[in-house]
């Protein structure tokens, strides 16, 4: 009953939102940003409760850091919302309008998705981010954050709903499932009557749970077992810094490189240099037998390593005897997120781009660029690793649908 | 094991298909069409077994007709394939290629979906249709047809696989699940390792079963509780033939009109004319109290009628006192397929187009036009009633995905 009520209210709000002008949506977003700054003391108080509980539960320092709200982070959240205001509103655009032989004029109009559910873990900034993006695209959003973050989320959503109310906007454009019971989360994933789309944001376990349980349409995001292939024609002056960057610039992210594939003809030259550079930065290397011949810094690896997203200072190495073998290995173990080839060969670059089956395929660049901001979308709701609807970094467009509008003058079908 | 083997082979075939040239794909499609004609006697023999079984099971005449293969239908199936040959191959197109400030050049390339599963009922022509469309778009397809049609499907797929083999094309580009055990069908819906997309084609029960059980991405197709709204400013010379066409031109289709919504200011004039016309064609009308005042041909209706897709010579009537009420009623009871307004009012037409939340929204035309061929796509794999990925009639593009291709020259992320 509790969820159905939230769902029904969100559905109604989505009808309201679909009619909202860009002007009003932008005005509301700016008000939400200003009010979050104004209400930050109160929200930080609520955040403290979450932090105290997390400390008592022994949460790791890294996760505690993600959970913590500070005045600087309020500035960042508000700035994030203001950036979304500056983006073009995709809603209403009509594309491909054509006249059919019978005189019907058929066009495709961009419309909001409707009601979007988002299930995520303990990062309160996702609450604000997800609201800004779904609101700008004329959707209603239902948030289900982690229990670790519940007091922060309640306070954030309260502030946002009050801002909307003050402008006479239906505050059910954002709702939070305050009861973090897991059974309710599963029920939420099956609300086909109310949810048009569900996006999980978080670790592999959360995403798997949503994919296996949801009956509503889902966009699978996130997990990235990303590869860099060092081709026999690689320029090592590019390869070494790119590998270093892709593995070490930030460890816990889905676009970090987790596995190297190295052509045997360049292994003797490349592996000692790569191993020395990574080892210097305390990165553990786990390689196959052939790779271990070229460096003492390489530990044993198992088949399991090739399928592991470490999110840590560890990387696996596989040597191959051809481009074909490299592509086959990558297509077998990759999660379809981001892969790069380092090569000066035209043919190898083209074959890699065409044959590697991932959302983002790079030539001579770090996989760390897979990101809505880096791609120039101005914002990001996540990175899709499925092929339906959206693939790769998702900006505002991924939160929209289309409908056909047809102008007739009495046509009937023969 | 049986399904996993089919899945693994299809996955491999999908890698092969993704690299296939348009030329080879077209050559293969023409060969498949020719060979089906050549092998028709053998296939018709298999079809006879299905028909005999169906007759023994007491299948209705309408369903028996759908099941039956004749030389004329072989010509139609072959012609359907040849039409697909003439369509542009969408695979490989690169759109939106842009240079970022750091020099990375990022484009989006259209690629096949991969492995597509199709679950359908007893129409053997779907087997051939689904193959032609998925093959042209570089996918591998796994078909799970109804048990009523199994001998026909086995014979059709055998012919197609032999045609592919004769051109040295991986014949696992098409596979059929020959064991029609329902448990296997459920297992099929959960093959996330192998299936990139699952499309159910058939009645409401089949589609619901897939939506509730599948863990792979699904495109929901089909059910249509379509409305026509007769506005107070309707031209009844357009309204009467459009309603007649939308309800009666073909009964068992998802884009047939199932419910009329009539503005009270035109009810007195419109309802007697509409009721007389529909009754003349033996169509039962079930209307609310207000509508019954204007015609003796209108029977009682219940709330349930408004939510029913009759697929029969029955239509419901609801009277409303405003455009707002009409839109609200439609958005409440519609399945989001196709709805039309009959009006000469500019404002009413624009509001209806914008506020009715359906895949196809018409002004002054029959809902029967919702169809890939009528929309000019040249082919159709189904009509999506969900908002993710594809909405409305789905042509070749709906069977494709995209990937980002990124050209760098050593870029790393700061």
Of B19, B217, B391, the CB nearest to A401: B391
| Statement: residue B122 has pLDDT above 80 | no
Q: Residues of B with CB below 8 A from A409's CB?
A: 238, 364-365
What is the rounded CA–CA span in Å between residue A65 and residue A123?
9
State pLDDT tens for residues A115-138: 999 999 878 999 999 999 999 999
Distances from the Cα of A54 to the Cα of A74, A121, A167, A180, angstroms: 21, 13, 36, 15
Nearest CA in chain B to A343: B409
Instruction: Please state the φ and ψ torsions of residue A119, each to the nearest 5 degrees.
Output: -110, 125
Hey, how many other C-beta atoms are within 10 angstroms of the C-beta on B105?
15
What is the rounded CA–CA span in Å between residue A31 and residue B269?
51
Q: What is the pLDDT of residue A39?
A: 98
Nearest residue to B153 (alpha-carbon basis) of B76, B253, B77 = B77
Query: Which residues fall within 8 angstroms of residue A212, CB to CB, at 6 or more apart?
Result: B215
B408 contacts A391? CB cut-off 8 A: no
Nearest CA in chain A to B333: A193
Q: Residues of B with CB below 8 A from A411's CB?
A: 242, 364-366, 369
Query: Which residues fall within 8 angstroms of residue B135, CB to CB, at 6 or more apart?
Result: B17, B25, B28, B29, B141, B173, B174
| Statement: residue A398 has pLDDT above 80 | yes
Of A387, A403, A408, the CB nearest to B358: A403
Nearest CA in chain B to A191: B212
Nearest residue to B290 (alpha-carbon basis) of B271, B309, B307 = B271
B410 contacts A401? CB cut-off 8 A: no
What is the rounded CA–CA span in Å between residue B160 and residue A81?
55
3-class DSSP state of A5: helix
A211 contacts B192? CB cut-off 8 A: yes
B197 contacts A388? CB cut-off 8 A: yes
Mean pLDDT of A219-237: 95
Q: What is the CA radius of gyration of chain A?
A: 24
A388 contacts B217? CB cut-off 8 A: yes
Q: What is the pLDDT of residue A223?
A: 85
Q: Where are the alpha helices (DSSP H) in A137-284?
A: 150-166, 182-188, 204-213, 236-248, 264-280
Q: What is the pLDDT of residue A203?
A: 85
Nearest CA in chain A to B389: A389
Q: Can you point out the beta strands (E) in B202-271?
A: 226-230, 257-263
Q: What is the pLDDT of residue B123?
A: 87
Q: Where are the alpha helices (DSSP H) in B93-222?
A: 124-136, 150-166, 182-188, 204-213
Query: Which residues fall within 8 angstroms of residue B391, CB to CB, at 6 or more apart?
Result: A401, A402, A403, A404, B359, B384, B385
What is the rounded CA–CA span in Å between residue B155 and residue B6?
18
B412 contacts A387? CB cut-off 8 A: no
Of B197, B404, B405, the CB nearest to A387: B197
Distance from CA of A48 to the nearest CA of B (A): 32
B409 contacts A353? CB cut-off 8 A: no
Q: What is the pLDDT of residue B378?
A: 85
Nearest residue to B89 (alpha-carbon basis) of B157, B21, B142 = B21
Of A354, A366, A402, the CB nearest to B413: A366
What is the rounded CA–CA span in Å between residue A165 and residue A153?
18
Antiparallel, parallel or unpaired: β B400-411 and A360-365? parallel
Q: What is the pLDDT of residue A343?
A: 98
**Order of all β-strands in the sheet with B115-120:** B174-176, B140-144, B115-120, B197-201
Best to test chain B binding among A97, A356, A367, A401 (most B CBs inside 10 Å)? A401
CB pairs under 8 A between A and B: 208
A401 contacts B388? CB cut-off 8 A: yes
Contact B176, B161 (CB under 8 A): no
3-class DSSP state of B404: strand
Nearest CA in chain B to A242: B412
B404 contacts A114? CB cut-off 8 A: no
Best to test chain B binding among A192, A324, A353, A412 (most B CBs inside 10 Å)? A412
**Order of all β-strands in the sheet with B338-342:** A94-99, A105-112, A400-411, B360-365, B338-342, B226-230, B257-263, B314-320, B284-287, B298-300
Q: What is the pLDDT of residue A190?
A: 97
A245 contacts B368? CB cut-off 8 A: no
Q: What is the pLDDT of residue B109?
A: 98
Mean pLDDT of B224-241: 98
Across all residues in chain A, what is the average pLDDT? 96
Distance from CA of A277 to the nearest CA of B (A): 15
Instruction: Please state the φ and ψ torsions of residue A366, each to the nearest 5 degrees.
Output: -75, 140
Distance from CA of A65 to the nearest CA of B (A): 22
A196 contacts B387? CB cut-off 8 A: yes
Of A241, A403, A412, the CB nearest to B241: A412
| Statement: residue B223 has pLDDT above 90 | no
Q: What is the pTM for the complete model shown?
A: 0.94
A409 contacts B238? CB cut-off 8 A: yes
What is the rounded CA–CA span in Å between residue A411 and residue B368?
10
What is the rounded CA–CA span in Å between residue A142 and residue A175?
5
Contact B63, B122 (CB under 8 A): yes
Distances from the Cα of A64 to the Cα of A124, A152, A185, B337, B346, angstroms: 11, 13, 23, 47, 57
3-class DSSP state of B348: helix
Of A219, A361, A401, the CB nearest to B403: A361
Mean pLDDT of A142-159: 97
Antiparallel, parallel or unpaired: β B338-342 and B226-230? parallel
| Statement: residue A275 has pLDDT above 90 | yes
Segment (H or E) for B408 = strand B400-411
Of B368, B402, B412, the CB nearest to A413: B368
A19 contacts B408? CB cut-off 8 A: no
Distance from CA of A211 to the nearest CA of B (A): 6
Mean pLDDT of A228-254: 97
Distance from CA of A326 to the nearest CA of B (A): 14
The DSSP letter of residue A57 is: T
The DSSP letter of residue A28 is: H
Mean pLDDT of B269-279: 98
Best to test chain A binding among B90, B403, B414 (most A CBs inside 10 Å)? B403
| Statement: residue B255 has pLDDT above 90 | yes
B211 contacts A192? CB cut-off 8 A: yes
B388 contacts A196? CB cut-off 8 A: yes
| Statement: residue B294 has pLDDT above 80 | yes
What is the rounded CA–CA span in Å between residue B360 and residue B338?
5
The DSSP letter of residue B253 is: S
Q: What is the pLDDT of residue B252?
A: 87
Q: Where are the alpha helices (DSSP H) in A95-227?
A: 124-136, 150-166, 182-188, 204-213
Distances from the Cα of A225 to the Cα of A66, A211, A305, B36, angstroms: 22, 18, 10, 44
Q: Strand pairing partners for A400?
A: A112
Across all residues in chain B, what is the average pLDDT? 96
Q: Can you point out the beta strands (E) in B329-395?
A: 338-342, 360-365, 382-384, 392-394
Q: Strand pairing partners for A94?
A: A109
Hey, how many other C-beta atoms are within 10 angstroms of the C-beta on A351?
18
Confidence of residue B53 (pLDDT cuts 50, 70, 90): very high
Q: What is the pLDDT of residue A1?
A: 86
> Residue A63: exposed, middle, or buried by beta-carbon count in 10 A (0-12, 13-18, 19+)?
middle
B100 contacts A241? CB cut-off 8 A: no
Q: Residues of A with CB below 8 A from B254's CB?
A: none
Q: What is the pLDDT of residue A62?
A: 84
Q: Residues of A with CB below 8 A from B199's CB?
A: none
Distance from CA of A350 to the nearest CA of B (A): 10
3-class DSSP state of A207: helix
Distance from CA of A172 to the nearest CA of B (A): 18
Of A362, A391, A407, the CB nearest to B406: A362
Contact B3, B188 (CB under 8 A): yes
What is the rounded CA–CA span in Å between residue A382 and residue A367?
16
Best to test chain B binding among A351, A411, A414 (most B CBs inside 10 Å)? A411
């Amino acid at each position: 009953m509790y969820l159905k009520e939230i769902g029904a209210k969100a559905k109604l709000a989505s009808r309201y939102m679909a009619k909202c002008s860009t002007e009003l949506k932008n005005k509301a977003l700016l008000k939400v940003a200003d009010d979050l700054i104004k209400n930050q003391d109160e929200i930080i108080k609520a955040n403290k409760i979450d932090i105290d509980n997390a400390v008592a539960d022994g949460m790791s320092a890294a996760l505690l850091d993600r959970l913590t709200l500070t005045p600087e982070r309020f500035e960042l959240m508000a700035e994030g919302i203001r950036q979304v205001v500056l983006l073009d509103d995709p809603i209403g655009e009509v594309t491909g309008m054509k006249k059919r032989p019978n005189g019907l004029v058929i066009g495709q109009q961009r419309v909001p998705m409707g009601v979007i559910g988002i299930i995520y873990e303990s990062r309160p900034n996702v609450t604000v981010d997800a609201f800004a993006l779904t609101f700008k695209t004329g959707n209603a959003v239902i948030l289900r954050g982690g229990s670790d973050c519940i007091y922060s989320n309640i306070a954030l959503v309260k502030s946002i709903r009050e801002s909307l109310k003050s402008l006479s906007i239906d505050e059910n454009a954002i709702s939070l499932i305050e009861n973090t019971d897991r059974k309710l989360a599963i029920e939420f994933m099956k609300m086909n009557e109310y949810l048009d789309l569900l996006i999980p944001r978080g670790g592999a376990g959360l995403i798997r749970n949503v994919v296996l349980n949801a009956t509503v349409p889902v966009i699978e995001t996130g997990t990235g077992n990303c590869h860099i292939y060092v081709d026999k024609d690689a320029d090592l002056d590019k390869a070494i810094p790119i590998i270093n960057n892709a593995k070490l610039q930030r460890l816990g992210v889905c676009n970090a490189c987790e596995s190297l594939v190295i052509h045997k003809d360049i292994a003797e030259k490349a592996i000692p240099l790569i191993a020395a550079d990574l080892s210097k930065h305390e990165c553990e290397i786990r390689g196959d037998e052939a790779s271990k011949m070229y460096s003492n810094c390489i530990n044993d690896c198992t088949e399991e390593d090739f399928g592991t997203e470490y999110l840590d200072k560890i990387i696996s190495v596989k040597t191959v005897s051809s481009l074909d073998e490299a592509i086959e290995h990558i297509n077998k173990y990759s999660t379809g997120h981001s892969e790069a080839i380092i090569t000066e060969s035209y043919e190898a670059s083209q074959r890699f781009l065409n044959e590697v089956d991932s959302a983002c395929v790079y030539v001579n660049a770090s996989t760390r660029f897979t990101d809505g901001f880096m791609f120039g979308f101005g914002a990001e709701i996540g990175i899709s690793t499925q092929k339906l609807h959206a693939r790769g970094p998702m900006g505002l467009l991924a939160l929209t649908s289309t409908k056909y509008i047809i102008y007739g003058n009495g046509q009937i079908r023969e």
